[in-house]
Structure 1
Amino acid sequence: MIDPKLLIQFKAEILEIERGNIIFDYGSKAQFYYQIKTGEVKMNNFNRDGKEFIQGIFYPDQSFGEPPLFADVGYPAGAETITDVEIFRLPKDDFFDLLKKHPEAHFKISEVLASRLYYKAIMASEISSQDPEHRIVRLLDYTKTHIHKLDPEDVLEVDFTRQQIADLTGLRVETVIRACKALEKKGEIQIKKRKILR
């Protein structure tokens, strides 16, 4: 993503936040650009029954929560730490100044946002019309090629829990467990020591 030296040059601070803490809430006004130095973050929503839906999971060198900065709207989801994290936090005005002075960073942000829009379009279609096995395979394949940048023939050791897969695909965890067993029988995935390989 954006070179950490560049972030520091433009007045980013590094926050250390423990696991399970909120970075920002649903609906709050976007005032900062966030980029992960170490750890993992999820963006999520909850329905009326309290069921979590994970919009995305983000890893070191990835940013999160940028669209509201450009649209000047509140966050459509909250952000919470999955692990202890270190995060670069850059004020909105300084972020825009950085993008104006470094077009290559602006292009990278645009590329990331386009990739996320593509993911959202795929998952919206999957959730509305596809069976659980198909949803899970699409999620794993997207994660392999777009998040971890692996070739299709490479093997991805999935770092999502069954609960996270459920929350990312709109399924129940019991359904994910059954679907994964069926996918293993079909040779679509392997399960070794409770880890999914695709």
Structure 2
Amino acid sequence: MEKESEVGMSKSLISELNKLSGDIFEVIKHNKGSYVHRRGDCAKHIYRIDHGTIRICNINKDGKEFIVKDLTAGEWFGLIGCFGSGKRPNDAIATNDAIVSRIEFKNILELLNINPPLYLSCCNQLAYYAEHYYNLAESAVFESLYDRTLMMLRQLCLWQKTQEVKITQKELAGLLGVTKEAVGIQLNKLKSNGLVKLGYGCIEICDR
């Protein structure tokens, strides 16, 4: 199975999607804090980020946020809702001013019908999503929060392509599904062990 080091679409699927005519895309500008879609919305489109950052997350009734991934320009999202229940499983929020192109799912189905091998790419992609979320659930049971925090920081290094990741403790807590206070304790342990350096709105990883 072709995999990426992030919660995004495989390169083969992206390559085919990027060949689609620009005439079938609708370009939408989103201001910082605006929703591309909300959890529970009807899933009729998939999306490509042309500029800015879109956060895939869920926020419960108490305001606690679980962050799945911050997606940036060139990345696609929206596949799970379209192929799954027909409803969006999460929120997609612009974390800064963004431009997003969207395409109706029916056009994707037409592409698949004339290019059957792409069905396999879609199946592989959905299987990867399932594996990714299973691994998150498994690590929450078997791994200590200390180890999970360090693993997440290493993953963020890959996503952001830097040793000094731009993230707040609140956002890191959202990615791990725990409280800010719990993350703060683990970061101080990592700092004491010489594995990270803490800054304002950033964390430098020293063990890679």
TM-score by length of 1: 0.81
User: 2:59 aligns to what?
Assistant: 46
Please tell me the residue identity of whatever aligns with 1:196: I
User: 2:188 aligns to what?
Assistant: 181
User: Unmatched 5+ residue regions in structure 2?
Assistant: 1-10
SS, match of residue 171 in structure 1: coil
Q: List aligned pairs for 1:19-34, cutoff 5 A.
A: 19-34=32-47
User: 2:111 aligns to what?
Assistant: 98
Is 1:87–2:100 an aligned residue pair?
yes
Does the 8 Å contact 1:33/1:91 carry over to 2?
yes
Q: List aligned pairs for 1:149-188, cutoff 5 A.
A: 156-188=163-195
User: 1:65 aligns to what?
Assistant: 78
User: Unmatched 5+ residue regions in structure 1?
Assistant: none
Number of residue pairs aligned between Structure 1 and Structure 2? 192
1:131-165 deviations in whole A, cap 9, x for unaligned? Answer: 322121222233344x45x6xxxx53212222111
SS, match of residue 86 in structure 1: strand
**Alpha carbons of structure 1 residues 112 and 137: separation in structure 2 relative to 1, 3 Å:** farther
For 1:29 and 1:112, the matched residues in 2 are separated by 21
**Alpha carbons of structure 1 residues 83 and 103: separation in structure 2 relative to 1, 3 Å:** farther
Does the 8 Å contact 1:43/1:57 carry over to 2?
yes
For 1:67 and 1:84, the matched residues in 2 are separated by 25
For 1:125 and 1:15, the matched residues in 2 are separated by 37
Does the 8 Å contact 2:168/2:201 carry over to 1?
no
TM-score by length of 2: 0.77
Does the 8 Å contact 1:132/1:171 carry over to 2?
no
Identity of aligned residues (%): 22
Does the 8 Å contact 2:45/2:102 carry over to 1?
yes
